[in-house]
Structure 1
Amino acid sequence: MPALDDVTRGRILFGGDYNPEQWPEETWAEDMRLMKDAGVNSVTVGVFSWARIEPRPGVRDFGWLDRLADLAHAHGIGVVLATPTAAPPPWMGARHPETLPRDESGQTVWWGSRQQFCPSSPTYRAYAAAITEDLAARYAGHPALTMWHINNEYCTHCWCDETARHFRRWLAARYGTVEALNEAWGTAFWSQRYDTWDEVIPPRRAQYLRNPAHLLDFRRFTSDALLECYTAERDIVARHTPHVPVTTNFMPLWSGQDAWAWAAREDVVSVDVYPDPKDPLGGQYNALVGDMTRSQAGGGPWMVMEQAAGTVNWRDVNHPKPEGLNRLLSLQAVAHGADGVCYFQWRQSRQGAEKFHSGMVPHAGEHGRTFREVKRIGAELAVLGPRVAGTRVAAEVAVLHDWHTWWATQQEGRLSREVEYPELLRAWHRALWEEGLTAAFAHPEHDLGGYRMVVVPQLYLLSDAAVDNLVAYVAGGGTLVSGFLTGVADEDDRIRPGGMDERLRALFGIGVLHEWWPLDRGETVACDGFAGTLWSEELEVADAEVVSAYRGGELAGLPAVLRRGRAWYVSTLPEPAGLRGLLGRAAAGAGVRPVLEGLPAGVEAVRRGGLLFVLNHGRAPVGVAVPGAYRDVLSGAAVAGSLALERYGVAVLREEAP
């Protein structure tokens, strides 16, 4: 099976989306000169080129793409060739309106943007397969081809009649009978019982709250329907080029895809990541995305398919990256295991909806600050590639994450709309990150035996297999720290007796879970050692140590944090310093130590490939204590005892023999 190593060969891929069809061909030669100047070795081509390749049904125009691929190869630049199926041409919607998606109210989503396709449409799938077949046949032997990129940021949802038929087939395969579906969905509630499959529709706009199990299965189905589209195209290109790896780019913390299932179908796991330059925790978000994507890649190298060289165009206010931040985030991705650092896009567009989205070559051209920094990054990645490409990042802590529990927590009738699953992931990962503990992510049914400590920000929905896995992990000597509202529901979103799975209550030493007490926005509850936010729970202890108790409100004197042996339960969300302290204490007890002790605030340390990456996410210079003698492989400077980092500064240290 091909892999990213087959493409990188001891280097880090550097480049980005290249859209030459937006520019006159005389610009292409200039692009090649600038790419060589910047150290670009990879470009992604054809992502949104369907209308150019197939200007009308059945017609093919490959001439321009032939010339571009030849030109890239002549300059030593590899081509990641995309199937253009994320943006069907206007002729498809005009001639085949059944390919257009419909929203929850039955309204047609028209062409004029992108992603305007119904994943269940046989007509769309047939056209997508045909263009993919012809692309693969034509370029299978081209020497510039290094990787296939299928579609782009799969995110389409549809509620049309064709989707309804597909959904019924999916449900029949899952449940077998309508009676089993009724049992799983609890349709005795509100007279929702189905008598035949034909009565089942997607969860369209309804009079009041919709069945949460119905919504959950539709999220599962939609992820699977999109995955069918991906695998159909993947299988075509793999048949023509079994030696060429295949990817599609994830969006980070995107709820629409079960990325654990998707990653298993990819040769290369890639992601698009856009931290807000104004976010003081943008570096932590970038680290989280890197840790999650690396974990989806099985702990091996992964790829940043898209990031921004400067500003984006889709926030309310779009700030540019200050000098140094682009370099910092790029090298941080490498520290977290990336073997590819790429951008959207190469040359900033002059027209269209993304003309204010930055490019590696901005409107200011090659003399602008953005391109100058891009050149520096390219040169430094060329130095790092032979040292780190193909190496892994060791992590002794795992954060458990599951898309199915995320989907279940988004139901319309829930206890608190202030509790957002991705924000809990960020909060717990932040505590580990600030404590200097390198983390991985894992599915709750994965083998957890390689981790000293496992943390659960929240897993509201857990299968029996997952619950047994957690119990076995602790029995095997692992340390488990769980957040609130975990183990509440089974796979069908059916509340477990007692409000929490009895195996977990026994694991944590909880006797009775009397009530959930969500907190209002901005409200806190005093606990021993910290303030709790978002949530609290009325718990009765069976046989556990009370690590922290509530000291105010209705729950005064009741346990906030419990520990039974190596199993911890945290019934609120401690404010950041409190959560960091708790996880640091649990980690120390599990034998997990920070990469570097005593790091200043905003400084991160990660080890990869025998190198120590030290990254300053702060806006001011800082000094860092570094025991031992090192040499910075980027600057060549000797480092002994202490390290001075400029704002957004990065040092990559190789230990020197004493």
Structure 2
Amino acid sequence: MKALNRDGGILFMTKTPFKQFLFGGDYNPEQWPREVWADDMQILTDVHMNEATINVFSWAQLQPSEETYDFSTLDAIVETLTKHGFNIVLATSTGALPAWLATRYPEVTRTDYEGRHARYGGRHNACPTSPVFRFYGARLAGKLAERYGHLDNVVCWHISNEYGGYCYCDNCAKAFRVWLRQKYGTLDALNAAWYTHFWSHTFYDWEEIVPPNALSDGIGNDHIVLSGMGLDWRRFQSDALLQNLKDEKAAIRQYDPNTPITTNLMGTFKDLDYFRWAKELDIVSWDSYPRFDTPASEVAMRHDLMRGLKGGQPFMLMEQTPSQQNWQPYNATKRPGQMRAMSYQAIAHGADTIQYFQLRQGRGGTEKFHGAIISHADHDETRIIRETRALGEELQKVGTKMMNGRIHAQVGMIFDWDNYWSLEYSSGPSVEMKYVDQLRRYYAAFYKQNIAVDMIPTDLTAAQLGQYAVIVAPVLILIKPGVSEAIHQYVKNGGTFITTYMSGINDEHDNVIMGGYPGPFRDLCGIWAEETDALPPHTAVPVQFGDTQTSGSIVANVSHLEGAEALAAYGGDDFYAGTPAVSVNRYGSGNAYYIGTVLDEKGLDTLVARLITERGLAHFTTPANVELTTRSYAAGYRLHFLVNNGGQSETVDTHQFAGLPTLVGDGPVQDKTTLAPYGVLVIEEQ
């Protein structure tokens, strides 16, 4: 079992650091009288939970004043969990400031995009560059490690919580200037990178540079006068928050050199470059909170992104809700069986833990209506308790057999935060052009055929790209040094590359690459995109793709073939009717596809069908709501996860698995399998 090594070459995959499959979640007993804890232990043990994530928001309780620490309550919580055999994921509590810290040191709180400096309140409320916050946050993490790091059942450190948000204060402005000096060295280099001749923005002194907010160069949160400055600001803020994590990590390592360290990420969250963050984590963990109408394919894509952050290493599903959220516009309750299906979907895509927020539902505060294992009913006869117990029994029977599997993907899809930021900073061509949505469309087309996809960064070599039959790079607008060369070599060696409209346009500073779109991919794709038409909302341009009548939306590139073959052409009566909408170019031993418009579902299905034939991609036909995902194991067996993500029964042709035993299911597999609503089958193949 292998994984990508970012420095080149191949490494054996790092295993999940846990001895057993963790089943549990966030637990806040400090919010309750101690007599309640005994009832909780009875219920949570009865549903076969074996883990609790504690101390996530306890800073004010642990440190009531500047020099006073009180660990008595946490000692009692740890003792209770240890007595009942629970593994502990111990958080550092630094995700929310105590009131005394914000009152005594006002500079620890953030200044927002509008230039308003916060008083005490909320969470995620600390300025990442504040020396005071960095000192007290790291000191607390160190004291926790000194006190609890030796315990065998403390199996993971959980630093802070859901990092995010930016600060625009004077401390951040100073730190930003230091960061820029280190990156550019001279103002001449910075001015060139930022294209500062635009609107008379040339800088002659470092002190002239201020954060790009509503009082300076910001034009709304997603637009800015100098997009190169905006990109660097986002990079800097991501790095500043990452430094907070590194501060606490270093403090923990002074006392505990071995216990793995993580922080809970948030899927396709925009603010932080998670590929950079993952390098500082021993294991990736994340919080999955889809809306009631989020497609199962999008949830799967987020799981695959989290798995991809460390080159295929299994991850922790740190949070999901057992029933409903409380912070979305419409907080639907999970239907019977849906929690189980979503848990197995996560395992299928690389999760080696199943954890929830939260174990007991709170009585007050803004999260009091967020779902929990133990609800406000305060007894063990609820539907959620019954479903949790049934899932716990299954996981306990399976033991470690589902852990440490590798997904062998045939397709690699590039996901890159610099491109995310660049595309959405763009002042055109359409406000409907959103990065994650564009990638999701392509991912969904492969998902429909049950073709595994790895989400990969931009810094892979041609040899590393070569493990994939197909590389997909939608809206790869920003081309960093070395990326074009690696992709050219990959295709020359026989790979298939797919890119689209809004690709190959900018360099790493967000300045346009001259010579026509798609810039460095022009020769590779054998096409020149002269213009990009932005289509009005809710309109489409007809596209004839082989024998398939499909359509495009949002944008339509007006392109000219330069050696490529047209596979699809625009219809209608506009001036670019008849010009190529989809093309393919032979380059070396491989092929490069260029997609000029946002193809509809039928168009993307047609493209994927062609790739299946061209590259011999293994695929599996299932009903629309059913997915099949396979994990392979070092011991020589494979597990095939068949999950019904819908609320209706579905029948699947499983003749190719007939006779194989089931790890989760009722005996050997039949030629046809009927899955109940949200039903799951886990097939074992030696």
- TM-score, normalisation: structure 1: 0.96
Task: State the match for 1:490 in structure 2.
Answer: 507
Does residue 567 of structure 1 match 2:592?
yes
SS in 1 for 2:323: coil
The match for 2:602 among 571, 574, 577 is 577
User: CA-to-partner distance for each residue in 1:354-395, whole Å, 9 max, x for gaps?
Assistant: 001101212233211111111122122223332221121111
Alpha-carbon separation, structure 1, partners of 2:127 and 2:359: 30
The match for 1:309 among 298, 310, 322 is 322
Q: Is the 8 A contact 1:4 1:245 kept in 2?
A: no
Does residue 605 of structure 1 match 2:628?
yes
The match for 1:204 among 198, 208, 213 is 213
Task: State the match for 1:519 in structure 2.
Answer: 535
Mapping 1:288-437, distance limit 5 Å: 288-364=301-377, 365-411=379-425, 413-437=427-451
| CA apart distance, 1:618 | 2.0
User: CA-to-partner distance for each residue in 1:116-157, whole Å, 9 max, x for gaps?
Assistant: 110011111111011111111111212321110001111031
Task: State the match for 1:238 in structure 2.
Answer: 253
AA at the equivalent of 2:300: A
| CA apart distance, 1:411 | 1.4
Alpha-carbon separation, structure 2, partners of 1:394 and 1:156: 35
Alpha-carbon separation, structure 1, partners of 2:556 and 2:644: 35
Task: State the match for 1:168 in structure 2.
Answer: 177
The match for 2:575 among 531, 547, 554 is 554
AA at the equivalent of 1:428: Y
Does residue 128 of structure 1 match 2:142?
no
Task: State the match for 2:557 in structure 1.
Answer: 537
Relative to structure 1, the CA distance from residue 393 to residue 59 in structure 2 (aligned partners, 3 Å threshold; closer, same or farther) is: same
Alpha-carbon separation, structure 1, partners of 2:579 and 2:99: 62
| CA apart distance, 1:27 | 1.1
Structure 1: runs of 5+ lacking an equivalent: none
Q: Which moved more, 1:229-238 or 1:404-413?
A: 404-413
| Length, aligned pairs only | 649
Q: Is the 8 A contact 2:228 2:510 kept in 1?
A: yes
Structure 2: runs of 5+ lacking an equivalent: 1-10, 633-637
Alpha-carbon separation, structure 2, partners of 1:567 and 1:38: 52
Task: State the match for 2:452 in structure 1.
Answer: 438
| CA apart distance, 1:635 | 3.0
Q: Is the 8 A contact 2:267 2:303 kept in 1?
A: no
Alpha-carbon separation, structure 1, partners of 2:628 and 2:275: 27
Task: State the match for 1:28 in structure 2.
Answer: 37
Relative to structure 1, the CA distance from residue 383 to residue 297 in structure 2 (aligned partners, 3 Å threshold; closer, same or farther) is: farther
Task: State the match for 1:76 in structure 2.
Answer: 85
Q: Is the 8 A contact 1:290 1:336 kept in 2?
A: yes
The match for 2:18 among 8, 15, 20 is 8
Q: Is the 8 A contact 1:498 1:513 kept in 2?
A: no
Alpha-carbon separation, structure 1, partners of 2:394 and 2:609: 34
| CA apart distance, 1:73 | 1.4
Task: State the match for 2:642 in structure 1.
Answer: 614
Q: Is the 8 A contact 2:268 2:436 kept in 1?
A: yes
User: CA-to-partner distance for each residue in 1:149-186, whole Å, 9 max, x for gaps?
Assistant: 00111103100000000000000000001111100000
Mapping 1:142-153, distance limit 5 Å: 142-153=151-162
Alpha-carbon separation, structure 1, partners of 2:139 and 2:254: 14
Alpha-carbon separation, structure 2, partners of 1:4 and 1:540: 47
Mapping 1:505-516, distance limit 5 Å: 505-510=522-527, 512-516=528-532
Alpha-carbon separation, structure 2, partners of 1:503 and 1:426: 24
Moved over 6 A (4+): none
AA at the equivalent of 1:258: D
Relative to structure 1, the CA distance from residue 278 to residue 156 in structure 2 (aligned partners, 3 Å threshold; closer, same or farther) is: closer
AA at the equivalent of 1:321: K
The match for 2:275 among 236, 246, 260 is 260
Alpha-carbon separation, structure 1, partners of 2:120 and 2:143: 24
Task: State the match for 1:284 in structure 2.
Answer: 297
Does residue 457 of structure 1 match 2:463?
no
SS in 1 for 2:380: helix
User: CA-to-partner distance for each residue in 1:65-122, whole Å, 9 max, x for gaps?
Assistant: 1111122112111111111111011111111111110012210223221111100111
| CA apart distance, 1:231 | 0.7
Q: Is the 8 A contact 1:629 1:655 kept in 2?
A: no
| CA apart distance, 1:601 | 1.5
SS in 1 for 2:41: helix
Alpha-carbon separation, structure 1, partners of 2:274 and 2:453: 18
| CA apart distance, 1:630 | 2.1
Alpha-carbon separation, structure 2, partners of 1:422 and 1:395: 20
AA at the equivalent of 1:494: N
User: CA-to-partner distance for each residue in 1:203-230, whole Å, 9 max, x for gaps?
Assistant: 0214765211111110010000001111
AA at the equivalent of 2:339: N
- Root-mean-square deviation over aligned CA pairs: 1.6
Alpha-carbon separation, structure 1, partners of 2:84 and 2:563: 69
Q: Is the 8 A contact 1:383 1:634 kept in 2?
A: no
Task: State the match for 2:661 in structure 1.
Answer: 631
SS in 2 for 1:387: coil
Alpha-carbon separation, structure 1, partners of 2:518 and 2:603: 27
Task: State the match for 2:7 in structure 1.
Answer: none
AA at the equivalent of 1:311: Q
SS in 1 for 2:107: helix
SS in 2 for 1:55: coil
SS in 1 for 2:425: coil
SS in 2 for 1:537: strand
AA at the equivalent of 1:506: D
SS in 2 for 1:8: coil
Q: Is the 8 A contact 1:396 1:452 kept in 2?
A: yes
Q: Is the 8 A contact 1:444 1:470 kept in 2?
A: no
AA at the equivalent of 1:616: N
Task: State the match for 1:473 in structure 2.
Answer: 490
AA at the equivalent of 1:599: T
Alpha-carbon separation, structure 1, partners of 2:476 and 2:162: 26
Q: Is the 8 A contact 1:471 1:503 kept in 2?
A: no
Relative to structure 1, the CA distance from residue 312 to residue 502 in structure 2 (aligned partners, 3 Å threshold; closer, same or farther) is: closer
AA at the equivalent of 1:639: V
Q: Is the 8 A contact 1:70 1:144 kept in 2?
A: no
| CA apart distance, 1:502 | 4.2
Alpha-carbon separation, structure 1, partners of 2:274 and 2:339: 26
Relative to structure 1, the CA distance from residue 502 to residue 457 in structure 2 (aligned partners, 3 Å threshold; closer, same or farther) is: closer
| CA apart distance, 1:593 | 1.4
Q: Is the 8 A contact 1:526 1:551 kept in 2?
A: yes
User: CA-to-partner distance for each residue in 1:369-428, whole Å, 9 max, x for gaps?
Assistant: 111111122122223332221121111111111000111112162221111111112111
Alpha-carbon separation, structure 1, partners of 2:346 and 2:193: 42
